Structure 1
Amino acid sequence: MSATPLEQAPPRRDLYLTMALALRVGELLLGSGESNETVSGAMRRITDAYGVPHSEADVNLSAITLSHVPADGGVPVTVERRVRRRLPDYDRLIAVHALVAEAAAGALPLEEAQARLRRITRRVRVYPAWFLVTAVATVAASASILVGGGLRVALAAFAATVLGDRASAWLAGRGVAEFFQIAVAAMLGSLAAVLLIALGVQVRAEAVVVGAVVALLPGRLMVACVQDGIAGEYVTATGRLFEVFFVLAAVVSGIGVTLYTAVRLGVPLSVENVPAAPLLLEPAQLLGSAGVTLSFAVALLVPPRHLVAAVIGGTLAWVVFVLLCGGDVPVVLATAVAAAAVGLFGSAYARAAKVPSLVITIPAIGTLLPGTALYRGMLETNLGHPDAGMSSLLQALSTALALGAGVMLGAEIMRAVTGSDLARRVRPAARRARRPFIPRPAARRTRGS
């Protein structure tokens, strides 16, 4: 029996070009925050599309390895690419996913796919650099409004975040590790609040810290961490979890240095003054939640045509969270359910608009990030209440993990109800090629003691 097209060995040059294309696609997807499951799946779709079957992708946080064992007994090939930059660019992420879809459909020749990928990597960002800095600062300003701060507090949070961002950029330019960049940004954000309190300014100064902390929390990493764990990628999930811990540790360290110094200098800090977001559906809170979501979306380079959907998702998250908390549902559970609603909405929009669900879900969970609990925990610890401080920090960590789990729950509900678009595309292709359909690894059933 003659070999099918997918089983014929491609020319060596095409094999190398295909593997190079798959590696570059994987690097761009991983750098934008996609899960290992999505990255490895996209790479296999590329290799299958261009006649390089029997390929295996091994993805971790710092390197991608792709191996191919020819069916004709030829020499196996293994290539690797280091992932040195993980900067989210959702406009580029959408373009890469579109390229993979067209390649898998057989509508994109190999040479054209390579040229298109080069154009994607060189394209001008959808927003200028100064706009991104403004967006990050607006996240802090909007979050301070969400927790009850006024206009002056929002302006202070905006200025403190800009200062922290520029200080981080200065440190990055001199090769200082990212841990200390984040710590300095958190320190400057909390320093602004301490100065307002020390000067006796009659505002809710602590809201400045909450806003600055929300702008630094790693929502994207939390979701990817939980997604990798659910998909069975336990090594990478553990690595992402440690990355989340280190980011949180950097934020806690920066806040801790400022609060420790302030307490020793006699600045009148009090746990009773720590602001919490009023559980209301009032215009101020709705405006704050929409502002946080919109600003996060711009900072993640979400294209303008998807911003309205992201804002709807963020507002939905806040409404569901407030209604649940009003019904005496615990905060962590309410957070998980609200995040699940976002995951469901984001997955539905992604299917309709043919974009990755991250474009909607990651900005939308910004309103639920545990900035208040994190600040309260550090303040209680520095005021001599370590048990209460650890309890607040544990609540912040539990809330962060609930966000990731909730988003994934919403996505899995959508998958269970509608099925996987990828499975519907791949199953007929596998049948035509006379090879078995390989199901989603996370869906394989295992039994054991």
Structure 2
Amino acid sequence: MGKIAWRLQRTWRTWTQGAAPDVPPEEDTEPGAAVSAEALDVVLRVGELLLTSGESTERVTEAMYGLAVAYELPRCEVQVSFTGLLVSVHPGHGFPPVTGSRAIRRRTPAYWRLPALHALVQDASIGMLEPAQAHQRLAEIKWARAPYPRWALVAALGLIAASASVLSGGGPVAAATAFGATVLGDRAAAVLARRGVAEFYQLAIAAAIATAAAALVVWVGTPARASAVVTGAILALLPGRPLVASIQDGITGDLVSAGARLLEVFFMIAAIVAGVGLVVYTAVRLHFPIDVSRLPSAPLTLEPVTVLAAAGVSAAFAISLAARRDVLLAVSLGGALIWTLFVLLRGQGVPPVVASAVAATVLGLLANALAVHRRVPVLPYVVPIIGPLLPGGLLFQGMVELNTGAPRHGLLSLIGALSVALALAAGVNLGGELVRAFRRIGLSASGRWARPAARRTRGY
């Protein structure tokens, strides 16, 4: 009776005062028990594979908590950060606490693993998987073959650049040049990676190679075509995945991971800007005919070619992130739709940042609803969909203006590029929040009642 009275009192205080639930008295808790090392290892390994495959911090935390509850790990606390995992279990009643951790040293996008990992968590949560079975299934997921061969992932980056160059007003020659320059830059970065060179310099070299190809096109007398080449190549390098994850982590209250991810985005953009800036500066010093007045601007049209190019950008992004093949059609339609909404809003005089945010919110809402219907993670949908609106052209424009005597306009262009990128990330996450607000329960028990960070704190 004492426990029932305490729970009723706790529920009443939560409803009337908005207070967080109190910790029950020690004598009312469940009796202690020895911690299963096998179950603890499953929780850590699933969380590690989710995080390294590209899942957001909040989803990883929910999945690990779900497994901890399923395997009856008492008083389990989970901490997920950008670079590591920590699980602590306190049995009580004389049993020693047990803590396990994992360091995340390498993150490789493998979106095709996410649905299988979340299905594993769901099956374990309803009692269908013992820890030994979960270990075996986890190993099968980890070592299973990716849906695309390695050469297809490399070609996908080139297809992103080619489609984006068409979206920026280029023709077949510009698309082919962007494809070749992007693949060449990626292979050069891969050589540097095998020699242990930091990723910052890998991105800088890849951006420099793409910009050098565009400078050669300028040298032969077609500056408009060159701008489309470099715009497409930059778009293939922009960090859309970590940007979306950083905004999502910040909104959901995980400020440490959000700050770390945003810093990673900053360094990636800084590397791209450095590579582009070095080549543009060299080209200007060599008197290449680079004119600020002839910089590109994506033609805001809904012609079939541009709409197909937007769909191609999103589909190629999905392939480069190793998403499953069954998402490609939905992602392609989403890319075409987000471009269409953006063009219609810009036609009504809406500023680029606001138009990007509104279009991303609508597509984020649709993508999250589709993911809920299919009972799969949403990241393989939302990240590729925003690809057509990533601000590759604004970045190139800002670097050219900085190096051709218009530093004020260059800084404004770079700020505008960052604003558009943040608006896209915030928009797709807002769509997810709208879906969450009307759900009772979801993937890994992530319903509207399952987010402690959403409680009103008023800054405390």
Above 0.5 in TM-score?
Answer: yes
Q: What is the DSSP-based 3-state SS (H/G/I as helix, E as strand, rest coil) of the residue aligned with 1:67? A: strand
Structure 1's 8 and 145: CA in aligned 2 closer, same or farther, altered over 3 A?
farther
Number of the residue aligned with 1:263: 284
The answer on whether the counterparts of 1:343 and 1:407 sit within 8 Å (CA) in structure 2 is yes
Q: CA RMSD in A?
A: 2.0
1:404, 1:374 → 2: CA distance? Answer: 17
Among residues 449, 452, 456, which one is paired with 1:441 in the alignment?
452
1:273 deviation in Å?
2.3
The answer on whether the counterparts of 1:207 and 1:274 sit within 8 Å (CA) in structure 2 is no
Among residues 337, 342, 349, which one is paired with 2:358 in the alignment?
337
Q: Which amino acid aligns with 1:232?
A: G
Residue 214 in 1 paired to residue 235 in 2? yes
Q: Which amino acid aligns with 1:52?
A: L
Cα deviation digits, residues 337-367 of structure 1 (max 9, x gap): 1111121111011011111010110110001
The correspondence of residues 18-417 of structure 1 with structure 2, limited to 5 A, is: 18-201=39-222, 204-417=225-438
Q: Which amino acid aligns with 2:325?
A: P
2:412, 2:339 → 1: CA distance? Answer: 24
Number of the residue aligned with 1:431: none
Identical-residue share of aligned pairs (%): 49
Number of the residue aligned with 1:434: none
1:271 deviation in Å?
1.8
Q: What is the DSSP-based 3-state SS (H/G/I as helix, E as strand, rest coil) of the residue aligned with 2:376? A: coil
Q: TM-score normalized by structure 2?
A: 0.91
Cα deviation digits, residues 55-78 of structure 1 (max 9, x gap): 111111111111111143411111
2:323, 2:203 → 1: CA distance? Answer: 23
Contiguous gaps of at least 5 residues in structure 1: 428-436
Q: Which amino acid aligns with 2:84?
A: A
Q: What is the DSSP-based 3-state SS (H/G/I as helix, E as strand, rest coil) of the residue aligned with 1:418? A: coil
2:291, 2:217 → 1: CA distance? Answer: 14
The answer on whether the counterparts of 1:160 and 1:188 sit within 8 Å (CA) in structure 2 is yes
The answer on whether the counterparts of 2:33 and 2:91 sit within 8 Å (CA) in structure 1 is no
Q: What is the DSSP-based 3-state SS (H/G/I as helix, E as strand, rest coil) of the residue aligned with 2:237? A: coil
Q: What is the DSSP-based 3-state SS (H/G/I as helix, E as strand, rest coil) of the residue aligned with 1:205? A: helix
The answer on whether the counterparts of 2:224 and 2:294 sit within 8 Å (CA) in structure 1 is no
The answer on whether the counterparts of 2:54 and 2:111 sit within 8 Å (CA) in structure 1 is no
The answer on whether the counterparts of 1:213 and 1:371 sit within 8 Å (CA) in structure 2 is yes
1:426 deviation in Å?
8.2
Q: Which amino acid aligns with 1:215?
A: A
Q: Which amino acid aligns with 2:139?
A: R
1:91 deviation in Å?
0.7
The answer on whether the counterparts of 1:230 and 1:442 sit within 8 Å (CA) in structure 2 is no
The answer on whether the counterparts of 2:90 and 2:98 sit within 8 Å (CA) in structure 1 is yes
Q: What is the DSSP-based 3-state SS (H/G/I as helix, E as strand, rest coil) of the residue aligned with 1:215? A: helix
Structure 1's 233 and 426: CA in aligned 2 closer, same or farther, altered over 3 A?
closer
The answer on whether the counterparts of 2:376 and 2:443 sit within 8 Å (CA) in structure 1 is no
The answer on whether the counterparts of 2:224 and 2:296 sit within 8 Å (CA) in structure 1 is no
Structure 1's 317 and 10: CA in aligned 2 closer, same or farther, altered over 3 A?
farther
May I ask how many residue pairs the two structures share in their alignment? 435
1:90, 1:133 → 2: CA distance? Answer: 16
1:201 deviation in Å?
4.3
Structure 1's 280 and 387: CA in aligned 2 closer, same or farther, altered over 3 A?
same
Q: Which amino acid aligns with 2:456?
A: R
1:9 deviation in Å?
4.7
Number of the residue aligned with 2:6: none
The answer on whether the counterparts of 2:365 and 2:432 sit within 8 Å (CA) in structure 1 is yes
The answer on whether the counterparts of 1:221 and 1:240 sit within 8 Å (CA) in structure 2 is yes
Contiguous gaps of at least 5 residues in structure 2: 4-25
Structure 1's 328 and 346: CA in aligned 2 closer, same or farther, altered over 3 A?
same
Q: What is the DSSP-based 3-state SS (H/G/I as helix, E as strand, rest coil) of the residue aligned with 2:225? A: coil
